[in-house]
Structure 1
Amino acid sequence: MSHVAVTGANGFVGRTVVRTLLARGHEVTAIVRRSAGETGGVRQCVVGEAGAAAWPPGLKPDAVIHLAARVHVMRENASDSLAAFREANVIGALRVAEAAHRAGVRRLVFVSSIKALAETDGGRPLREDDPPQPQDPYGVSKLEAERALVRFGEESGLEVVIARPPLVYGPEVRANFLQLMSVIAKGLPLPLGAITARRSLVYNENLADALILCATDPRAAGECFHITDGADLTVAELAKVLGRHLHKHVWLAPVPANWLLAAGKLTGRSAQVERLVEPLRVDSSRIREKLQWQPRFSVDEGLAQTAQWYRSTQRGRAS
């Protein structure tokens, strides 16, 4: 078994990665900004505000899964958002790579985003070698980090693996996905009945499984992989499946996409609306063929687990 260090181990995906590594018998070191309490079997390195770039003395894992990042936010407060994203996602990632290399780490798995490539699919599922066209500071910073890490790997010999997930969901999900479940649970109407655009997504357990394979399989060295559940849903289909697992009827009003886009412009929520009405299908055949990876959970199973978690949180609040 391998010794794997995980930066951002307290995050939504990080917690799942750590739990899965432990379940498979790997030695795990969690590199975090602040302690989230004791976790059995995990060595925890708290690096404070210095972030994961402050490499813990004496830490020499076989591989690092780098999840720590400045994430995409809908309401940006930084006066120069691109500079802020670059500082965390580009410079920060390079510092981790440099420190890991000095410590003798063999491989770094950089968890990027499909937003480093594009916001829409242009008529067919996006492949790893498609020309990148990021559209916002977050996507730009992720692409720049990918390129900087690949160059560093070529110069230093550190094996760099790039992983690009689309929308990640699962228990403890936040942001828009949580809001969607809340609207469905309340029985409120959704103006999504006329939306036919399909979008890829990935259950966090499937993502964790793929990231661990990227960290431990010799065949992954130097590769870039898209990671998805393998089934692309329209947002209307997604709402219906969630409604079934939440035991709620879903009322989908057939509002035309151009009306929604116009409303988005008027309310300053164009980015949110575009994510609902524009297609973003992702081709994840490379990791399936190269590493023989298959998602352990179907979309329906992943959404069922996510809905079950949501129901449990609502019961807890009601009691």
Structure 2
Amino acid sequence: MSIKGLLVTGASGFVGSALLQHLARSKSHSLIAALRIECPDLPGAVRRFKITELSATTDWSPVLGDVDAVVHAAARVHVMDETATDPLTEFRRVNVDATLNLARQAAAAGVKRFIFISSIKVNGEGTEPGCAYTADDIPAPADPYGISKLEAELGLKQLVATTAMELVIIRPVLVYGPGVKANFLSMIRWLQRGVPLPFGAIDNRRSLVSLDNLVDLIETCLEHPCAAHQTFLVSDGEDVSTTRLLRMIAAALNKPVWLLPIPVEFMKVMAGLMGKGAVAQRVFGSLQVDIEKNKRLLGWGPPVSLGQGLSKTVKPFLESRKS
């Protein structure tokens, strides 16, 4: 399959903007960025398509006639401190209804391939060490965000079953890279300041994916014939404990690290008492994914190692502190 025109939604977001910057350098596609707010980092050659809201009534007709493929990265993302009174309804409004609206219009316009950026939360919240999720496991989402992503996947599969459009689903684990925010950025800041952290005795296993590796897999899935109607998990292929991850980030920062070996069970109890059980799961629990399917079907392996990805992540952080 040859893809000439490409529409990327969520173009001002972490993944969408990185994908467009990468593809613009290759100059092999005509690129259209759908965005609600301007993104100054997008290359000048990328055509902007401004939308006021991502919803079930958004009209995509001005751009769909010019594209062969869509990468749908826009979403209502998971938030730690949810404020909506009915979170599932809010997630469904954007992640399900708006997604299916775009896909229906894309199929009607003759778009060849629709790549949906889903989430590992469709699989579940965690694994036992050594028991990795696979792309073909029975989904078990546990929160409104994961449920909405699964419902979108199921709706898309039902839609493409009656059209000529091909569907590719990608479920990333935690994505990090230059410009990362939220808890990952907080870890970098703590380590840069030399703050002692009580995380020196954590023996879990977590899969992560660098932005470069995720973008590389998306690019592979744009045209690879074996990607059609498949679901892929994606990671760096190198699982680490939280303790080792912190040590690797500190090494990339060229900083000494102070990790106190506080017993994990004690910290879990304290986190539960403070209402931070979800945070504790991310810090102390395991979540591993198996990417063997990517290698088998696509010949794809992560081009960037975990160490390389972390070094690239902290570099702009260090440069911003100098300036």
TM over 0.5: yes
Partner SS state of residue 259, structure 1: helix
TM-score normalised by structure 2 residue count: 0.95
Matched, 1:97 2:117: no
1:44 to 39, 48, 51: 48
How many angstroms apart in 1 are the aligned matches of 2:205 and 2:92?
A: 30
Range with greater deviation from structure 2 (281-290 or 58-67) = 58-67
Letter of the 2:60 partner, please give it. Answer: W
Residue in 2 that maps onto 1:285: 292
Per-residue CA deviations over 1:198-252 (Å, capped at 9, x if unaligned) read 1001000110110111122121100000111100011111111110111111111
How many angstroms apart in 1 are the aligned matches of 2:222 and 2:10?
A: 16
Residue in 2 that maps onto 1:28: 31
Matched, 1:186 2:190: no
Tell whether the 8 Å contact from 1:63 to 1:216 is kept in structure 2 after alignment. no
TM-score normalised by structure 1 residue count: 0.96
2:143 to 106, 129, 136: 136
Matches within 5 A, 1:206-285: 206-285=213-292
Range with greater deviation from structure 2 (287-296 or 228-237) = 287-296
How many angstroms apart in 1 are the aligned matches of 2:63 and 2:288?
A: 43
How many angstroms apart in 1 are the aligned matches of 2:173 and 2:211?
A: 11
**Pair 135,58 (structure 1): closer, same or farther in 2 beyond 3 Å:** closer
How many angstroms apart in 2 are the aligned matches of 1:57 and 1:286?
A: 37
Residue in 2 that maps onto 1:305: 312
Letter of the 1:30 partner, please give it. Answer: A
Runs of 4 or more, structure 1, over 6 Å off, are none
Matches within 5 A, 1:45-124: 45-50=49-54, 53-60=58-65, 61-123=67-129, 124=131
**Pair 192,59 (structure 1): closer, same or farther in 2 beyond 3 Å:** same
Tell whether the 8 Å contact from 2:55 to 2:94 is kept in structure 1 after alignment. no
- The structural deviation recorded for 1:280 is 0.3
- The structural deviation recorded for 1:58 is 4.4
Letter of the 2:85 partner, please give it. Answer: S
Tell whether the 8 Å contact from 1:195 to 1:234 is kept in structure 2 after alignment. yes
Residue in 1 that maps onto 2:5: 3
How many angstroms apart in 2 are the aligned matches of 1:203 and 1:54?
A: 33
Matched, 1:15 2:17: yes
Per-residue CA deviations over 1:109-163 (Å, capped at 9, x if unaligned) read 0000101111112341110111211111111111111111111111223211100
Tell whether the 8 Å contact from 2:199 to 2:260 is kept in structure 1 after alignment. yes
Letter of the 2:197 partner, please give it. Answer: L
- The structural deviation recorded for 1:41 is 1.1
CA RMSD of aligned residues (A): 1.4
Tell me, which stretches of 5 or more residues in structure 1 are unaligned? none
Tell whether the 8 Å contact from 1:63 to 1:108 is kept in structure 2 after alignment. yes
Tell me, which stretches of 5 or more residues in structure 2 are unaligned? none
**Pair 17,58 (structure 1): closer, same or farther in 2 beyond 3 Å:** closer
Residue in 1 that maps onto 2:155: 148
Per-residue CA deviations over 1:251-297 (Å, capped at 9, x if unaligned) read 11111221121111122211011111111010011111101112121
Letter of the 1:31 partner, please give it. Answer: A
Aligned residues: 316
How many angstroms apart in 2 are the aligned matches of 1:238 and 1:157?
A: 44
